[in-house]
Chain A
Amino acid sequence: SQQGEEDPQALSIQEGENATMNCSYKTSINNLQWYRQNSGRGLVHLILIRSNEREKHSGRLRVTLDTSKKSSSLLITASRAADTASYFCATENDYKLSFGAGTTVTVRA
């Protein structure tokens, strides 16, 4: 069973626009992480936010975490064609990651 659920399932945006995706989870967590996957290949770690943090930035990425609502959001600003990928949130507990089903983002030129 999957811990997290991403919303929306798919997103299509124009290059230069912002992309926002959300993640909801069910149980308490140590931290929440976001990963990117290109065309069914390996996952690339994007950012980790700990349970006592509310917001974190990394380059064009902004992640928020609301533990009271058990939800997180990932914002990609000024999107590029290279951002086309699937994005997964993963919650960590007992050293194992539990992933959602992902959001597929398509950035149109």
Chain B
Amino acid sequence: ETGVTQSPTHLIKTRGQQVTLRCSSQSGHNTVSWYQQALGQGPQFIFQYYREEENGRGNFPPRFSGLQFPNYSSELNVNALELDDSALYLCASSLGGASGDTQYFGPGTRLTVL
């Protein structure tokens, strides 16, 4: 157990809807990164938040957005859901957003878009 929690565990939505996924970081960690993992693939970086500011973004459209709160928990919001958004969404927290910091992953939220 890493101490990183995610909710919900599973979620089913229909195309066009909006979804919010939540992540609580490990105690003492101020950096949260979000990844999307399609079936049979490795995780792909969506974005990272460091002390409530976006600190880098991967190749995802603007309908993927996020927030980090003062307690360093985070949300991932996806608007206008598409079938290809079906995936396991992983968040990872780390100590300071520096190179070499170990990222501790949560168990993920499995999103199914019908």
Contacts and interface: CB of A to CB of B under 8 A. Distances in A.
A71 B104 CA distance: 24
Contacts of A50: 100
Interface string A60-98: 000000000000000000000000000010101011111
A85 B47 CA distance: 26
Contacts of B58: 96
A43 B43 contact: yes
Contacts of A41: 107-108
A28 interface: no
Interface in A1-59: 1-2, 4, 30-31, 35, 40-45, 48, 50
Interface magnitude class on chain B:
20 to 34
Report which residue of B4, B45, B58, B97 has the largest number of chain A beta carbons within 10 angstroms of its beta carbon.
Answer: B45
Nearest to A101: B42
Contact of B42 (A40, A45, A102): A102
Nearest to A98: B45
A32 B56 CA distance: 19
Given A43-B90, A101-B40, A96 B45 contact: yes
Consensus secondary structure, chain B interface = loop
A43 B98 contact: no
A92 B45 contact: no
Nearest to B102: A45
B25 interface: no
A59 to B, nearest CB: 16
Contact of A30 (B40, B55, B92, B100): B100
Contacts of A42: 2, 4, 90, 105-108
Nearest to B41: A101
Interface in B65-114: 88, 90, 92, 97-108, 110
B42 A95 contact: no
Interface of A: 1-2, 4, 30-31, 35, 40-45, 48, 50, 88, 90, 92, 94-102
8 contacts: A31-B100, A45-B104, A90-B42, A92-B99, A95-B48, A95-B55, A95-B98, A102-B41
